[in-house]
Amino acid sequence: MAGALPPGQGSDTMTQEAGKCREEKALIFDIQRFCLQDGPGIRTVLFFKGCALRCAWCHNPESHQARQEVAFFADCCVQCHACREVCPKTAILTGPERRIDHSLCDGCGNCVASCLTRALRMIGKTWDTAELLAEVRKDRDFFISSGGGVTLSGGEPMLQAAFLDNFLPSLKGDGIHVTLETCGHFPWEDMERMAPFLDLIYFDLKQMDSARHESYTSRGNGLILDNFRRMAALFPHLQPRMPIIPGINDDDKNISATAALLHECVMDMIHCLPYHRMGEAKRGRIGMGRPDPDLSIPHRPDLKSVVERFAKEGIHVIAYD
């Protein structure tokens, strides 16, 4: 038959080609180098786009959607409106503060390409395994000299587990230390595949009361706490963390409940991170309104009282600046 493949090669070749076509790609919205607070040593942090939660205090709200988005930086705009001429969805607005109607925008990027002042910027870039490996390998000398490595952050990296299936073994094959930062909301079977290739896991514990957790993050904490308990029993380098949100999770009841969970899991330490307002300006750039429920939170709260309350519960706190 004309065009037939040589005997014995047809099915194998077609399977290989199909595999290439199905190769998963990562959607990354930022890569930060020379980071010192996301694991040991000097680290390169990969920020994966997409998250199962919608935390009202999130400092990376551009990570929520698992798709590319266009952000508008009003202070860079010169009102030329070249973007309006190239938008196929008529999603360009002319107001001074808002430029994109995000209900119409499909993220095609035409407006970004037309903007000479970078007032419009694409949030999110796709990477295949080879490209992303080449990017992080640029920093191997720093990893080796400092005991550092790569940190997977976000967003929630576990939402892109199909990409990590190939990416993590490649990192470990290069001898690169891998840290995962997770909100804990993931299918357990995904973590069973990932865990052998991880050296450290930072696991966020935001609020012990499930109803309050859902009101501020859009989801209850049942799956998160179940995953934490299972990880504590199986993974020796699990490190709990808590973002301290004044009035939300820094009260005696929540700290006591968090300490009880840690004692149950035979743990006596937690990392605490102070709230900051970095996410507020970002929300406006991507067309997000104020969080619901709206928060009136002081900037960078003092963690001294939180440290003292955890200490009374027998828990040592590593407090971040």
Q: What is the pLDDT of residue 65?
A: 93
Q: What is the pLDDT of residue 64?
A: 94
- pTM to 2 decimal places: 0.88
Q: What is the pLDDT of residue 301?
A: 64
Domains of the chain: 23-67+124-319 (3.20.20.70), 69-122 (3.30.70.20)
With a cut of 70, which residues of the chain have pLDDT below it?
1-22, 290-301
Burial class (CB within 10 angstroms; exposed 0-12, middle 13-18, buried 19+) of 308:
exposed
Q: What is the pLDDT of residue 291?
A: 62
Q: What is the pLDDT of residue 9?
A: 38
Q: What is the pLDDT of residue 96?
A: 75
Q: What is the pLDDT of residue 300?
A: 61
Q: What is the pLDDT of residue 258?
A: 98
Q: What is the pLDDT of residue 277?
A: 74
